[in-house]
Amino acid sequence: MTTQTKSSVLSTGGGARLLDPADTVVLLLDHQSGLFQTVKDIPVADLRRNVEMIAKLCTLLKIPVITTASEPAGSNGPLMPEIHQAAPHAVYVPRKGEVNAWDNEDFVAQVRSTGRKTLVMAGVWTSVCVMFPALDAVAAGYDVYAVIDASGDPSEMASRVSVARFVQGGVKPTSSNALLSELHRTWARPEAAELAQLYGQVAPNYAAVAESYARAQQAARDAL
């Protein structure tokens, strides 16, 4: 997407190289209970919390979400329920055994139907469930981001290799906190209070800071 067509670019040029919420669709791939048991490069609780935050963010900012799972009736297990609870508008696309979601015609058709060209992906495993469709989507002309801490791999080595291959293949690595901030852009918006809660979810220490600030403000008001 060229910077001239991005609705999020300001007169200053701010946002020219950032995500445009109006052109973004989030793909959450294979966040399944069985696969979670293999994740070793990030605490699973952190991974799940980051994924849930992304689902809430998409609901708040009205960003399309597409989910899918590989063999949910088998050992890989079902999708984590928090995704569709937090993003009831998310569309689930079943697959027919394909490891690579981009091999599934229904999945690719659902992505195309959004009319959006910026794909934000996360999944388990990073090196497979995210890597394969991410590279194929780049080849298909999409601008692709991979949220590393909303994804997981069996080892830190696998995760490091994945990031290297992403960069070589034109996929942009990012983090949950960066994604939140990039789509947020300004506190001068009506969803500011809800966004602040999301920061507290993805960065628990921020929640403590916000709580301390609120107590200080209340104490100042009580002193008047």
Nearest by Cα to 179 from 65, 5, 24, 6: 24
C-alpha to C-alpha distance for 152 and 43, rounded to whole angstroms:
9
Q: Does residue 58 carry a catalytic annotation?
A: no
Which are the contacts of 85, defined by CB distance < 8 A and separation ≥ 6?
Answer: 55
Nearest by Cα to 163 from 175, 154, 155, 172: 172
Which are the contacts of 112, defined by CB distance < 8 A and separation ≥ 6?
Answer: none
Q: Which residue in the list 119, 129, 135, 148 is annotated as catalytic?
A: 129
Helix axes 156-169, 131-139, angle to 10 degrees: 0
> Backbone dihedral region of 7: left (phi > 0), alpha (psi from -120 to 50 degrees) or beta?
alpha
Q: 10 Å Cβ neighbour count for 31? A: 28
The catalytic residue positions are: 129
